[in-house]
Amino acid sequence: MIFCPYCANQLGLVEGPSGNKWGCPTCPYEFPLEKRYVERTYLKRKEVDDVLGGEDSWKNVDSTQVDCPKECGADRAFFMQIQIRSADEPSTTFYKCCNMECNHQWREN
């Protein structure tokens, strides 16, 4: 973005018979373009936090009898309940298969 040095408004591209230029929408300031103008800014991506707390969140959880949807043959899964929506909505139950080879995770409302 380029700003006007007189009134500090953002300059816009103005196409005319004499060529393209940057022009201020409120005052007569113009900045001629003599060559192609390219400016690129790469933003640094922010690190995303694990909502469930990562692997440490599954350390001290209980298990219950439920069949794994991946059909690995396990009939038990670890579970925890978390309120992820507003208070008037029910808690969401997260499951993790007890079979260490499968380790499948799923959730139910």
98 is in an annotated binding site: no
27 is in an annotated binding site: yes
Q: Which residues of 20-34 are buried (b: 16+ CB within 10 A; e: fewer)?
A: ebbbbeeeeeeeeee
The C-alpha atoms of residue 99 and residue 67 are separated, in whole angstroms, by 11
The C-alpha atoms of residue 58 and residue 76 are separated, in whole angstroms, by 14
The separation between the first and the last C-alpha atoms of the chain, rounded to the nearest angstrom, is: 47
Binding site feature residues for Zn(2+): 4, 7, 24, 27, 68, 72, 97, 102
Binding site feature residues: 4, 7, 24, 27, 68, 72, 97, 102
